[in-house]
């Protein structure tokens, strides 16, 4: 599992075992509006927040840290990123020669059954060890079950993938169909689909597994709804790839799809006319709808859906459109058979109020299940409604299929964590100690996180006494300044004016490319991959230049999109290990071992030109420049980098170099460096970013489902990579606990990702946290920090001088 990081740390996943505790920060200093005394207030520097402080819907590392301070996880983790199985009484685990005892909300017992199924039994604290939410209400097993059902609901669209686990009865719950009914109608739909696809006709053909009535019903659904799938596919594709033409059609995406695809244009009176003959002014409500597009498609192909798909399909194909229709048909047919009956529970989630325990039964072993059980336990009485707790009728504290009650609390988190959220205003998130915290009331009463738009402002703010803790980007300038300001010249926790903690970071910097936006027609085609490899080859060539100049020995170039801190990362001695994007379009090595930088960069330029040509770009041999792009591609692309608007980012110099090279061959690379990094994250969520620079934070388990599986295209898979072989390998890697086997499978996954050229791995760095020993009692700061265990893991013990 990966966690996305802004600038250096943006999180997608809700898990205390992820690197969310690597603070990336800014905070308020000195006094406060409420008049707290300085020694009662801890001030931490942060980057800009997105005000999504929800365990369910947070999307940035900074927002995740905010809600994490207010929450407790079902299972705890240790310094090595491993799950603690005996959290109630405490489990002692050695690290770096020291024994540490870890406590948590619950205990876990795992039982592997002979039939392949697995029991995960969790018991939570109760009785004299009862845990309370910060509002004084007790945390019970009902809150655990409420949280699990919320993460499993069909209306949940956050980043956590709890619903993807092989939990018994999960599919039945989400479809509201019994296993027998779902399997029956899925089988019928599959048999009919095969016939329709084979003959490209709706004509009934007798066969096994379906009746004539069922065949005609399914065929009619495909004929009715398939057109809409095709139309929406084209509209979505054009919105992603031809956004620059939106102004031509007054920012109407349906009209854009018609215009680009040749199904609509302006007449002599400047009205927009579609192929069906309908006219629109494109003003106000007088705009074409998806239904109008369907009419135009039918008019263009005389109602022949198969011909239309064969010519007009954008990202999809006949089978994918039919599959999309099939799910609705299965649900409708299945519900008709089910009648008034409902699936009232996830059969694999059972709970016992008497001993405050829950059992999760999976149908098979899945390596990530235990890590998913580190989910936050949220209070049903706050995020849901206790009046809606009626398991016998399929209600678990919220309206099934409607998570509005949870969304309404997105900006105001509440839980059983060490601190209570007070407010967020003026760029400051304020907290107050939770007097009922189960590990003891925090030593410091008030905690404030303050936004700093520029990373470079954090160190000066700490020196000036405005903040107490920060995590600046650790470049040579910062290191030299820390050594100079400390009388003892230390760059360590022993610093007398600025204490420094450097930790290997379980994450890495990368450059991302959206396959939907940087493609030549079909994003999976060789031409599209060649286009992306043209850019990737140049980006990769300048990595050492930018990393060494920015970080010196505090970071290194990596060759695969995975942190070197992960056990699954390929190593140079491994079979098949290769330098990223170091071959030309013919598969030949671009570089020689003894190449100097200038020779390497010239070779990369030549290779990039070869890739552009292979992608279909028109090249003028006389000027040595590209003069035209193939259909679906462009001569100009934009890359967005969160450099605070001033280029303050380790990869900025790389982009400048590549921009200069591309200009010499007629390709424009626009560098967008917004002052507010939310412009990047919002753009990624909207699918409007061509290329971007960011970083991933890794969790203890390297599961790739959240980031690269095609099921997550609308959530965290902003690369929009959709590869059936990759999907299969990701699920295959989950099926075993053998790390050697899983590492081999993940190597295959990484090779596919690199072949798609949607991610260019850049650097692995050190994570830096700086403290003010003048104001913070350094004896109270966590010892032996790791990528999974920062001072935030023991924030309740931090004291001020």
- The per-residue pLDDT for range 301-317, each reduced to its tens digit, is 999 999 999 899 887 78
Residues 287, 273: contact at Cβ < 8 Å?
Answer: no
Residues of the chain with pLDDT under 70: 1-38, 240-241, 243-244, 698, 712-715
Residues 685, 701: contact at Cβ < 8 Å?
Answer: no
Predicted local confidence at residue 446, as pLDDT:
97
Which pTM value belongs to this model?
Answer: 0.72
Predicted local confidence at residue 687, as pLDDT:
84
d(CA 596, CA 6): 33
- How many CB atoms within 10 Å of residue 635? 16
Give the rounded distance of the alpha carbon of 84 from its chain centre.
25
Q: How far apart are the first and last CA of the chain?
A: 39
Q: Which of 292, 301, 298, 308 is nearest to 255 (CA)?
A: 292
Scan for tokens 């259909």, then name that residue: 631
Rounding to the nearest 10 degrees, give the CA dihedral for residues 423, 424, 425, 426: 130
The secondary structure of 214-238 as a DSSP string is HHHHHHHHHHHHHHHHHHHHHHHHH
Predicted local confidence at residue 732, as pLDDT:
92
Q: Which of 255, 260, 242 is nearest to 633 (CA)?
A: 242
Q: How long, in residues, is the chain?
A: 801
Q: What are phi and psi of 24, to 5 degrees?
A: -125, 75
d(CA 228, CA 325): 10
d(CA 666, CA 664): 6
Predicted local confidence at residue 160, as pLDDT:
87
What tokens were used for 462?
């700490």
Degrees (nearest 5) of the Cα angle 41, 44, 49? 120
d(CA 30, CA 468): 9
Burial (Cβ within 10 Å: 0-12, 13-18, ≥19) of residue 631:
exposed
Q: Which of 287, 288, 305 is nearest to 297 (CA)?
A: 305
Predicted local confidence at residue 18, as pLDDT:
31
d(CA 543, CA 591): 14
Predicted local confidence at residue 713, as pLDDT:
55
**Cα atoms found within 13 Å of the Cα of residue 45, Cβ hemisphere only:** 28
d(CA 607, CA 584): 5
Residues 541, 484: contact at Cβ < 8 Å?
Answer: no
Residue 504: beta bridge partners?
766
């Amino acid at each position: 599992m990966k966690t996305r990081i802004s600038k250096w740390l943006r999180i997608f996943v809700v898990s205390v075992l992820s690197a969310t505790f690597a603070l990336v920060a800014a905070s308020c200093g000195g006094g406060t509006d409420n008049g707290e005394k300085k020694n009662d207030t801890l001030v931490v520097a942060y980057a800009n927040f997105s005000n999504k402080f929800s365990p369910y819907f947070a999307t940035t590392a900074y927002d995740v840290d905010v809600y994490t301070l207010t929450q407790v996880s079902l299972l705890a983790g240790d310094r090595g990123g491993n799950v603690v199985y005996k959290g109630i009484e405490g489990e002692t685990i050695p690290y770096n020669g020291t024994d540490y005892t870890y406590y948590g909300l619950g205990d876990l017992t795992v039982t592997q059954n002979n039939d392949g199924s697995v029991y995960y039994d969790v018991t939570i604290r109760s009785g004299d060890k009862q845990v309370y939410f910060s509002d004084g209400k007790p945390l019970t097993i009902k809150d655990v079950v409420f949280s699990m059902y919320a993460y499993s609901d069909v209306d949940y669209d956050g980043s956590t993938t709890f619903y993807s686990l092989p939990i018994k009865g999960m599919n039945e719950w989400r479809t509201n169909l019994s296993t027998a009914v779902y399997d029956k109608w899925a089988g019928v739909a599959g048999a009919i689909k095969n016939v329709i696809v084979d003959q490209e006709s709706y004509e009934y053909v007798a066969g096994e597994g379906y009746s004539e009535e069922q065949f005609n019903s399914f065929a009619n659904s495909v004929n009715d709804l398939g057109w809409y799938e095709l139309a929406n596919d084209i509209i979505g594709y054009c919105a992603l790839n031809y956004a620059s033409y939106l102004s031509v059609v007054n920012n109407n995406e349906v009209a854009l799809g018609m215009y680009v695809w040749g199904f609509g244009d302006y007449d002599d009176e400047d009205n927009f006319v579609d192929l069906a003959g309908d006219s629109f002014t494109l003003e106000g409500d007088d705009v074409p709808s998806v239904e109008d597009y369907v009419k135009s498609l039918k008019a263009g192909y005389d109602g022949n859906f198969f011909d239309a798909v064969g010519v007009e399909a954008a990202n999809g194909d006949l089978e994918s459109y039919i599959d999309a229709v099939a799910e609705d048909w299965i649900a409708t047919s299945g519900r008709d058979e089910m009648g008034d009956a409902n699936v009232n529970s996830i059969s694999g989630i059972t709970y016992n109020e008497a001993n405050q325990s829950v059992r999760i039964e999976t149908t098979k072993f899945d390596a990530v299940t235990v890590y998913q059980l580190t989910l936050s336990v949220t209070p049903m009485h706050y995020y849901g409604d206790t009046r809606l707790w009626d398991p016998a009728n399929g209600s678990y504290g919220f309206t099934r299929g409607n998570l509005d009650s949870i969304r309404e609390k997105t900006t105001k988190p509440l839980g059983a964590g060490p601190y209570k959220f007070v407010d967020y205003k003026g760029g400051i998130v304020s907290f107050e100690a939770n007097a009922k915290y189960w590990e003891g009331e925090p030593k410091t009463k008030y905690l404030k996180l303050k936004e700093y738009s520029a990373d470079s402002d954090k160190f000066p703010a700490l020196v000036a006494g405005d903040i107490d803790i920060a995590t600046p980007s650790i470049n040579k300038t910062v290191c030299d300044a820390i050594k100079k300001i400390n009388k003892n010249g230390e760059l360590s926790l022993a610093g007398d004016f600025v204490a420094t903690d450097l930790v290997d970071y379980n994450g890495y910097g990368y450059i991302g490319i959206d396959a939907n936006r940087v493609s030549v027609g079909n994003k999976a085609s060789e031409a599209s991959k060649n286009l992306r490899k043209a850019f990737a080859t140049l980006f990769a060539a300048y990595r050492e230049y930018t990393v060494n100049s920015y970080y010196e020995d505090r970071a290194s170039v990596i060759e695969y999109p995975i942190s070197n801190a992960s056990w699954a990362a390929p190593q140079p001695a491994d079979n098949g290990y290769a330098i990223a994007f170091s071959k030309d379009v013919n598969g030949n090595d671009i570089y020689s071992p003894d190449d100097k930088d200038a020779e390497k960069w010239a070779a990369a330029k030549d290779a990039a030109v070869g890739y552009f040509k292979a992608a279909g770009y028109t090249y003028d041999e006389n000027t040595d420049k590209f003069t035209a792009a193939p259909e679906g591609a462009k001569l100009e692309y934009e890359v967005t980098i969160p450099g605070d608007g001033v280029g303050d980012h380790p990869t900025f110099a790389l982009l400048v170099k590549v921009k200069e090279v591309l200009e010499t061959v007629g390709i424009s690379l626009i560098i967008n460096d917004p002052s507010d990094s939310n412009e990047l994250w919002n753009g990624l969520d909207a699918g409007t970013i061509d290329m971007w620079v960011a970083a991933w934070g890794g969790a203890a388990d390297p599961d790739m489902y959240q980031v690269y599986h095609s099921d997550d295209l609308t959530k965290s898979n902003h690369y929009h990579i959709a590869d059936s072989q990759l999907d299969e390998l990701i699920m295959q890697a989950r099926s075993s606990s053998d790390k050697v086997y899983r590492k081999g499978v993940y190597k295959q996954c990484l090779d596919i990702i690199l072949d798609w050229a949607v991610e260019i791995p850049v650097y692995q760095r050190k994570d830096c946290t700086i403290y003010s020993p003048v104001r913070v009692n350094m004896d109270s700061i966590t010892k032996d920090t790791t990528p999974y265990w920062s001072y935030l893991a023991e924030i309740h013990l931090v004291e001020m001088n």
